[in-house]
Structure 1
């Protein structure tokens, strides 16, 4: 199988899996996950090679405490369902950030592009998120991407720098059930010569 075919197979296998067990599969360790996420944060392309991506991995009591605080901060029982599931059923979460200090420096250094730099930071964060999700899937993990950003920021340990803006949470664990069926819209990529 060619490298591209392998990549596309791995990308296609990445699915949203909500049914998780709070454990790691086989011989995978949290250090393996940390190494993969660290490499992705380092190697994901960024505008002007600015490298604004940051990440932390929550596991154990910290993972449970953060998601418990998120759950309690949401008043609606229906709204509490997903964060409670993350707390109770997942092994951990990768919290993705962008460092606003990097974005502000770019705006000062390259004023002609100043208005675009926040979007560029969002784009590179999204790239790091999907790269991480695909990699964790390839390791045998299941996961789902969440955006409880303000709630998460308020619940995180105080060691997190204020300049880091929460972008997303990749909740992960061992799949407890296969993903649901995925449907596709017609969305052909066209070629214009």
Structure 2
């Protein structure tokens, strides 16, 4: 793969809110799971801590979690986006970091203790964007959400308590054929040597 191919994949990723609760023709849930698994495995982490975790919600469990999120939000205006995730997305990837792993690193390397939570945040962000971009390559649209506390309270009880929710990638078949062109600010990268 050339750098141009990789950069094109990054540039083609877009926020797609209009979703259908289905996968593109020929794409299976097992393929989605394999993509997410590979990204969780291969996304770099500080000190090779492998702090990233993820689960995929689909079907009745996806609807149950997002319905609980909707019911937990006090304002009607705040319910709109999680209701659309519940009703329009095929599923969601929930991204976590393992706080137990971070705490072990803090104990082992006290000089870096205050930095490890931020390192975990960085790695989680990389996993989120890598997943979003990879799913786009198989025709899946998505949008990233941060209903972290609401989602954590609604998740299955088998999820370890020390897993901290970082984001939710709602995904499904794009309901529109094309998206508006993205505009860019003038933001040159300068080289100093």
Question: TM-score, normalised on structure 1?
Answer: 0.98
- Name 1:13's counterpart in structure 2: 12
List runs of 5+ in structure 1 lacking aligned partners: none
**CA separation in 1, counterparts of 2:181 and 2:167?**
24
1:29-178 paired onto structure 2 within 5 Å: 29-177=28-176, 178=178
Matched, 1:4 2:8: no
Pairwise CA distance, 1:70: 0.5
- Name 2:185's counterpart in structure 1: 185
Question: TM-score, normalised on structure 2?
Answer: 0.98
Pairwise CA distance, 1:180: 3.8
Deviations 1:32-66 (A, max 9, x none): 00001000000000000000000000000000010
**CA separation in 2, counterparts of 1:124 and 1:6?**
23
Pairwise CA distance, 1:181: 3.8
**CA separation in 1, counterparts of 2:17 and 2:139?**
14
Which region of structure 1 is more displaced relative to structure 2, 51-60 or 76-85?
76-85
**CA separation in 2, counterparts of 1:180 and 1:66?**
31
**CA separation in 2, counterparts of 1:158 and 1:67?**
15
**Contact between 1:16 and 1:179, CA under 8 Å: does it hold in 2?**
no
Q: What secondary structure does 2:192 align onto?
A: coil
Deviations 1:124-178 (A, max 9, x none): 0000000000000001000000000000000000010000000000000000013
